């Protein structure tokens, strides 16, 4: 059973879609930035690939464009692998504009995180990667192909063995394993340790998501097969933590 918070976010998303005019404009990203290549470059220099997130909800307020740009520049300077941008406007206080600003301010790959339920949402903003949540995608195969046709890399997020099996049947090359339970919203790194090796063994680029707060957590996830790690809450609370998490600096 999905938590009431997630159910409400989905309801709000469907409500916004029901009143949004359909656009004939189709997004096309011709210069997509490559997440696996960036991760490999960092690893060659002994730096753990961290996807650093811009998550306004942690600050309990929306962000001005100049704030988004400043955060993006700092993440890049501190050795981030990519930048994840929450664009969901109500619960997470984000916006598609934040993804656009972050991409203009940084040379890093930009991952758009939102609740993508319909193909037309892919045309809202240009990004290098787009999150597709297996649990909420009625046509996951269609959304994966629609994202790829626009030049965006789909990152399929899973939480369970069943969802991972579904993701493996698509053409997705990047999978995110979220340590957060959708029913209870509790976090356990055991989830990645259970599913990560399966995804890794299937030849996918694997991202560990949620609950990563220390250098020890990073090493634990990498030991289980993580090619990159997505960190949001910890970095929004303390941006200076990034060089400690990725190993560029030591406490």
b/e string for 84-113 if b means 16 or more Cβ within 10 A? Answer: bbbbbbeebbbbbebbbbbbebbebbbbbb
Is residue 102 a contact partner of residue 54, using CB atoms and an 8 Å limit? yes
Known catalytic membership, residue 200: no
Torsional sign, CA 27, 208, 74, 57 = positive
Q: Which of 124, 163, 209, 222 is flagged as catalytic?
A: 209
Known catalytic membership, residue 157: yes
| Strand pairing report for 228-231 and 174-178 | unpaired
Bridge partner list, 230: 51, 209
Q: Which of 95, 137, 210, 234 is flagged as catalytic?
A: 210
Q: Which of 113, 124, 179, 193 is flagged as catalytic?
A: 113
Task: Assign 209 to helix, strand or coil.
Answer: strand
Q: How far apart are CA 215 and CA 124, in angstroms?
A: 35
Apex 123 CA angle, 83 and 165, nearest 5: 65
Q: Which of 178, 179, 234, 246 is flagged as catalytic?
A: 178
Task: Assign 12 to helix, strand or coil.
Answer: helix
Bridge partner list, 51: 82, 230
Known catalytic membership, residue 178: yes
Q: How far apart are CA 152 and CA 146, in angstroms?
A: 9
- Please tell me what DSSP assigns to residue 56: G
Q: Which of 76, 124, 153, 157 is flagged as catalytic?
A: 157
Q: Which of 48, 53, 124, 234 is flagged as catalytic?
A: 53
Radius of gyration for the alpha carbons in the chain, expressed in angstroms and rounded? 17
Q: Which of 55, 106, 234, 246 is flagged as catalytic?
A: 55
Known catalytic membership, residue 55: yes
Task: Assign 112 to helix, strand or coil.
Answer: strand
Query: Could you give the residue numbers annotated as active site?
Result: 53, 55, 113, 157, 178, 209-210
């Amino acid at each position: 059973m999905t938590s009431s918070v997630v159910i409400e976010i989905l309801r709000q998303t469907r409500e916004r879609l029901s009143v949004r005019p359909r656009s004939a404009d189709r997004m096309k990203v011709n210069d997509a930035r490559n997440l696996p290549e960036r991760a490999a470059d960092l690893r060659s220099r002994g730096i753990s690939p961290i996807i650093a997130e811009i998550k306004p909800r942690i600050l309990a307020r929306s962000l001005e464009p100049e704030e988004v740009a400043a955060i993006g520049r700092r993440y890049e300077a501190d050795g981030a692998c990519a930048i994840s941008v929450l664009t969901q406007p109500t619960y997470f206080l984000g916006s598609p504009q934040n993804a656009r600003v972050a991409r203009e301010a940084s040379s890093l790959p930009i991952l758009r995180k939102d609740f993508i339920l319909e193909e037309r949402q892919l045309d809202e903003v240009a990004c290098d990667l787009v999150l597709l949540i297996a649990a909420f995608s009625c046509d996951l195969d269609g959304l994966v192909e629609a994202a790829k046709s626009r030049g965006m890399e789909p990152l399929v997020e899973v939480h369970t063995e069943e969802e991972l099996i579904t993701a493996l049947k698509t053409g997705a090359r990047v999978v995110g394993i979220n340590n957060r339970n959708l029913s209870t919203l509790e976090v356990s790194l055991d989830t990645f340790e259970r599913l990560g090796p399966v995804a890794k063994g299937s030849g996918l680029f694997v991202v560990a998501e949620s609950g990563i707060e220390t250098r020890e957590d990073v090493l634990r996830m990498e030991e289980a097969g993580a090619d990159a790690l997505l960190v949001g809450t910890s970095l929004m609370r303390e941006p200076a933590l990034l060089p400690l998490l990725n190993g560029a600096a030591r406490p």
